[in-house]
Structure 1
Amino acid sequence: MMTTRTRTPSEWCYAPGVERLNPQQAGFWRSILRPSYAGRVWDKVSAAVRAGDLGPAARLKPIAGGRRYELRIYVADVGDRDAVLRIRRVLRFRLGFVRAHQLL
């Protein structure tokens, strides 16, 4: 398990059967991570997405010259309140993020 990231291009993962998202409907949970947390958080999030337990896709992207990472966890339809709240519950209660919007 990688616990620290170095400056790399974006990493994407998709749920089974998902090839792309409709940008007109998709939304995302967003968090900014320190490099020391990015690897551990990405391991948990990408495993949950690939298992179909989270949203349809996620992305980890270096920003600020690699001093921070932006994590996005996508929802297929931002208007689907149940799906948005389900992702929040998975982040908080299954993956152990106390504040789902912070992901520290």
Structure 2
Amino acid sequence: MKNPDSDGSPVQGVSGNRRTGGRDLVQSPDDNSPLTLTFVLKDPGSLQDDQCPSLYRTSRRTWIIQADRRDEPDVRAQARALAPHEGLGEVTDDFMDVIARTYVKERYGLDIPG
């Protein structure tokens, strides 16, 4: 997939004053805009079924991770500023490695050696 804003134009739905490499780090998607998910990848270490950790790109220029839910009170208590409407999901290091490699490849065109 090609980076849709590679021409340096402003990114719609993104705001904030903390900047890195010309990119805002705080996203404020319009909560009223429709949310459409596009499947990106699944955990390669999982079984070949649909019930596994997966990564999705959204139409709001955000990401959603499908993961095993962790709602235990002792786990929630350890999260920083977790609002009642927010949730936690657990994925493996191997899946995070695949996510990072995929993102860097798509965003910057670079292959990270393994």
Identify the structure with the greater strand proportion: 1
- TM-score, L = length of structure 2: 0.30
- TM-score, L = length of structure 1: 0.32
Rg bigger for which structure?
2
